[in-house]
């Protein structure tokens, strides 16, 4: 079991401004209306791909915000020299419940930006400006005082947005942004000094911040080898679908105006390079897993650009799910090189799932997502 605090929904109309004239313009959160425990839970820390669930011990309403209190501490870097320990709190919006008090939970950040659209002209901003726009009360229902991240690293990764429509949903934009930056948002409480009537200062944890960082200010890639003992599951996720074909059979006219009896065949490898199958001598591991062939007839032999226009490779990433490594613990937003079955993948830990199993032991399962360039 894990303890939780239950809140009324954070309303930005009420909580977007400070109640103390001396304080900064920080959103003040309400005091919890109930304290309880959650059982039989499956809690995804960021909710990048999945919602969470569990059975709660108090009455709740759809639309309430629940803060799961985990005993683990995590590091929040504020600069290259300042790192602070925080208790791991996970904030969710309750989206449904049943008669047995089992609830479905959506990560607070994703819940508050769901359904919103912004003009794609906003994509001309820097990555940091996009994040600020995502947190603006003028745009979303997300109550947050600010965020913690390394702006140099955030803005140094230039994203080539491919949006043909005039608008897009905030969720789609945020998913692409965080996927390329290899960072997923989590929420934590930020302490604030409030003046007492006697002139002294009181530390109050009532400001909600977004953590867009790993355990270090300048993240360093960690290398780890995993195997079947960690209950590994692998998933190929198509990010951008470009063509229904991945092999090209090209028949080229001869001088007498007829076609060769056999075509020339090309495909696209994992590096998005054109591969001539007539001269290929590899073992096939970097080629498409199945052949979806397109036949084309040319007057002259096609060049690499023409071939790519016919069978441009989909943008795909590998998702690896595996149990926490007991000797090398990984946390959210760690950059990781994973070795699995004689292949190595470069990416990051995009989510952690905490589950309660028999005996009250919490299983910590990780979601590793391969890096992707847009």
Q: What is the pLDDT of residue 342?
A: 84
Is 334 in contact with 214 (CB distance < 8 Å)? Answer: yes
> Is residue 325's pLDDT more than 90?
no
CA distances, 150 to each of 76, 154, 213, 215 (Å): 11, 6, 7, 12
> Is residue 316's pLDDT more than 70?
yes
pLDDT in tens, 18-70: 444 444 555 567 788 999 999 999 999 999 899 999 999 999 999 999 999 99
Tell which residue, 219, 194, 224, has the closest CA to residue 324.
224
Domain 247-310: CATH class, spelled out: alpha beta
Q: What is the pLDDT of residue 21?
A: 42
Q: What is the pLDDT of residue 269?
A: 86
pLDDT band at 197 (very low <50, low <70, confident <90, very high): low
> Is residue 200's pLDDT more than 80?
no
Is 321 in contact with 347 (CB distance < 8 Å)? Answer: no
Domain 2-211: CATH class, spelled out: alpha beta
**Domains in the chain: boundaries:** 2-211, 247-310
Q: What is the pLDDT of residue 51?
A: 94
Strand-pairing partners, residue 7, are: 65
User: How are beta strands 117-119 and 167-169 bridged, if at all?
Assistant: antiparallel
Q: What is the pLDDT of residue 18?
A: 47
> Is residue 160's pLDDT more than 70?
yes
Cα three-residue angle 107-149-4, rounded to 5 degrees: 30
End-to-end CA distance of the chain: 41
Prediction pTM value: 0.80
Mean pLDDT, the chain, whole residue set: 85
């Amino acid at each position: 079991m894990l303890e939780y605090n239950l809140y009324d929904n954070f309303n930005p109309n009420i909580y977007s401004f400070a109640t103390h004239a001396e304080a900064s313009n920080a959103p003040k959160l309400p005091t919890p209306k109930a304290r309880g425990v959650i059982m039989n839970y499956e809690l995804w820390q960021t909710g990048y791909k999945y919602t969470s669930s569990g059975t709660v011990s108090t009455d709740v309403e759809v639309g309430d915000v629940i803060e799961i209190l985990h005993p683990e501490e995590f590091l929040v870097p504020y600069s290259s020299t300042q790192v602070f320990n925080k208790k791991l709190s996970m904030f969710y919006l309750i989206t449904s419940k049943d008669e047995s008090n089992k609830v479905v939970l959506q990560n607070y950040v994703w819940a508050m930006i769901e359904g919103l659209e912004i003009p794609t002209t906003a994509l001309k901003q820097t990555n940091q400006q996009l994040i600020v726009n995502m947190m603006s009360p003028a745009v979303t229902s997300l109550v947050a005082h600010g965020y913690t991240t390394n702006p140099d690293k955030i803005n140094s990764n230039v994203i080539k947005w491919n949006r043909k429509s005039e608008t897009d949903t905030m969720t789609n934009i945020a998913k692409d942004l965080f996927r390329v930056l290899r960072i997923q948002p989590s929420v934590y409480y930020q302490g604030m000094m409030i003046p007492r009537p006697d002139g002294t200062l009181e530390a109050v944890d009532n400001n909600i911040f977004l953590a867009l960082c790993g355990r270090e200010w300048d993240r360093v890639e960690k290398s780890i080898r995993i195997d079947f003992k960690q209950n590994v599951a692998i998933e190929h996720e198509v990010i951008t679908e470009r063509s229904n074909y991945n092999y090209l059979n090209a028949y080229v006219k001869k001088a007498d105006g007829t076609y060769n009896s056999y075509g020339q065949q090309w495909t696209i490898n994992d590096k998005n390079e054109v591969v001539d199958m007539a001269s290929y001598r590899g073992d096939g591991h970097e080629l498409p897993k199945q052949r979806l062939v397109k036949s084309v007839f040319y007057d002259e032999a096609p060049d690499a650009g023409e071939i790519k226009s016919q069978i441009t490779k989909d943008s795909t990433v590998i998702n690896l799910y595996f149990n926490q490594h007991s000797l090398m613990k990984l946390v959210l937003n760690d950059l990781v090189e994973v070795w699995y079955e004689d292949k190595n993948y470069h990416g990051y830990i995009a989510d952690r799932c905490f589950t309660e199993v028999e005996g009250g032991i919490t299983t910590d399962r990780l979601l590793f997502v391969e890096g992707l360039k847009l």
